[in-house]
Amino acid sequence: MKSKTGYSKISSDDGDQEVSAASALFFRWMNGVLKEGSQRPLDQSDFLPLSDETSGRFVTEKLRTSWESKKHHCKTHGKRPKLWRSVFDMLSVKDVIIILTGNVLYTTSRLLFPLFLGYFVSMLKSAEAENTYLIYACALAMCLNGLIGGLGMHHLDYRGEVLGIKIGSALRGLVYDKGRDEVEVYKNAKEERG
């Protein structure tokens, strides 16, 4: 579909489909947007709309519900509620698994790299010609190690950024709603007095 400026909009038909494992692993689901962005400036309409679970209203409501539940529970047990517990309730099992797996893969990759490198250098220093396959295998293992560590780091960073945005949005929404509620109470009290 051509816009007024002659640019064609990115098709949003692909957004309703579930992303495959390979696409999610290598971030291929962003290829269309990145291709269009390399050819022209992107508009807001080029991006797929946010799903309900990633919208600011949804995450704010989820945090508010959890916070109200914690406040009620602590009030009945005579304890002081803690907001950070409600924030932890916002974490999904999928988020935690992806973040922990990414961290483990990246850390393991960083620990294995010096070992592979040391073995590779020692194999190169040896004068034996029959170690050629081991040298190639070690070089391939170093490449795969770097690839796995890089993928782990990128998924850890991506999921952490998205989670940080969701939590920040929810906390700002909670504070904004609380401030708005206090203004309403102040206005009502003022009207009752005046």
Note whether 75 and 103 are same-domain residues: no
165 in any annotated domain:
yes
Note whether 125 and 84 are same-domain residues: no
Is the pLDDT assigned to residue 109 strictly greater than 70?
yes
Residue 7's pLDDT is what?
Answer: 46
Note whether 77 and 115 are same-domain residues: no
Cβ atoms 156, 102 nearer than 8 A: yes
Kindly compute the dihedral angle of the four CA atoms of residues 11, 12, 18, 24, in this order, to the nearest 10 degrees. Answer: 70
Residue 115's pLDDT is what?
Answer: 93
Is the pLDDT assigned to residue 15 strictly greater than 70?
no
Cβ atoms 36, 51 nearer than 8 A: no
Q: Which domain holds residue 131?
A: 93-175
Cβ atoms 145, 116 nearer than 8 A: yes
> For the whole model, what pTM was predicted?
0.65
Q: What is the mean pLDDT of the segment spanning 20-46?
A: 77
Note whether 111 and 169 are same-domain residues: yes
Going by pLDDT thresholds of 50, 70 and 90, the confidence category of residue 177 is: confident
Q: What is the mean pLDDT of the segment spanning 11-36?
A: 67
Greatest mean pLDDT among 21-30, 51-60, 129-138, 148-157:
148-157
Cβ atoms 157, 114 nearer than 8 A: no
Note whether 78 and 106 are same-domain residues: no
Q: Please tell me the total count of domains within the chain.
A: 2
pLDDT digits (tens, 9 = 90+) for 82-95: 888 888 888 889 88
Residue 16's pLDDT is what?
Answer: 44
Note whether 85 and 144 are same-domain residues: no
Note whether 134 and 64 are same-domain residues: no
Q: What is the mean pLDDT of the segment spanning 160-165?
A: 89
**What is the distance between the alpha carbons of residues 155 and 97, in angstroms, rounded to a whole number?**
11
174, 150, 180, 138: which is closest to 66 by C-alpha?
174
Task: List the structure tokens of 109.
Answer: 């990759």
66 in any annotated domain:
yes
Note whether 72 and 103 are same-domain residues: no
